[in-house]
A and B are shown apart, each in its own frame.
Chain A
Amino acid sequence: TQLLEQSPQFLSIQEGENLTVYCNSSSVFSSLQWYRQEPGEGPVLLVTVVTGGEVKKLKRLTFQFGDARKDSSLHITAAQPGDTGLYLCAGARSGYELNFGKGTSLLVTP
C-alpha cells in the first residue's frame, strides 16, 4: 500500500524555471521529510516539517506542510542544473517507520 503519492513522477525543465512537486496522502502524519537522492548515492535529508501549515525555506527551495498534515509541497525557484536528482517525500506516523513516496525525478538542463 502506497501511503504517499508524489507528482509528477518525472519533470524536465530548463535552467531558470520554477517548479512544484507534490506529496499527497489520505493519512495524517506527525512529520514529513523531503530527501534528495543523486545517482549511485543514498538519500540526503533536506528538511523536516512537523506543524500543520508550516513553511520552511532552504535557499531557493520552499517546503510547505498542509494544514491537515496530510500533504506537502516542494517549490524550487529558478532551478539550476545542480538541483537535478530524485526528490523523495517521507512521512512519519506514531511508530519507528518512515513511509516513502515513489519519488519525483527532476532534470534541469542548462
Chain B
Amino acid sequence: NAGVTQTPKFRILKIGQSMTLQCTQDMNHNYMYWYRQDPGMGLKLIYYSVGAGITDKGEVPNGYNVSRSTTEDFPLRLELAAPSQTSVYFCASSYSRPSTDTQYFGPGTRLTVL
C-alpha cells in the first residue's frame, strides 16, 4: 500500500493564480482531511470529508474549495492565490473518527505564493 500520496511536492504560484493539490489514499478510508501547517503554528484544519460526496469546512476554509467524488481522492482547490496561503499542506485519512482511529498523513505539499 502506498498510503496517502500528495502531488505536487513543491509549487510556486504567482498572486491570483489557481491550482489544485492532489491527494489519494489506497486504504479505503472513509474520512479524509486537509490541513495547513505554518511555522510554529501547528496544523489547522481546512476541510474534511466523511465519505464520497460529503465535505465540510474546518477551522480555516476561506480561499479553498474541495470535492470528493470517489473514496480515494480528495483534491484541494486554491482560487486566486494570495501570499497568506504560503504554507505546507497535508492531506490525511482515517477509517473512522479521529477520536478513536489513526490519521495517516501524506508527505505534504510546500506552496509558496509570490
Binding site for B on A (CB under 8 A): 2, 9, 30-31, 33, 40-45, 48, 50, 88, 90, 92-93, 96-98, 100-103
Tell me how many residues of B have a C-beta within 8 Å of chain A. Answer: 27
Q: Are B97 and A96 in contact (CB under 8 A)?
A: yes
For the complex of A and B, the 10 pairs showing the least CB-CB separation, nearest first, are A42-B105, A92-B99, A100-B42, A102-B42, A100-B43, A98-B98, A31-B99, A30-B99, A45-B102, A92-B98
Task: Give which listed residue, A40, A90, A96, A101, contacts B50 with CB less than 8 A.
Answer: A96
Q: Are A96 and B107 in contact (CB under 8 A)?
A: no
For the residues of A in contact with B, the DSSP-based class is loop
Q: Are A97 and B43 in contact (CB under 8 A)?
A: no
Task: Give which listed residue, B44, B50, B59, B106, contacts A42 with CB less than 8 A.
Answer: B106
Q: Are A40 and B105 in contact (CB under 8 A)?
A: no
Given the contacts A92-B97, A97-B98, A98-B103, A43 and B50 also touching, CB distance less than 8 Å: no
- A sample of 16 more A-B contacts (CB under 8 A), given A43-B43, A96-B50, A96-B56, is A9-B40, A41-B108, A42-B90, A42-B107, A48-B102, A50-B99, A50-B100, A88-B42, A92-B97, A97-B59, A97-B98, A98-B103, A100-B35, A100-B43, A102-B40, A103-B42
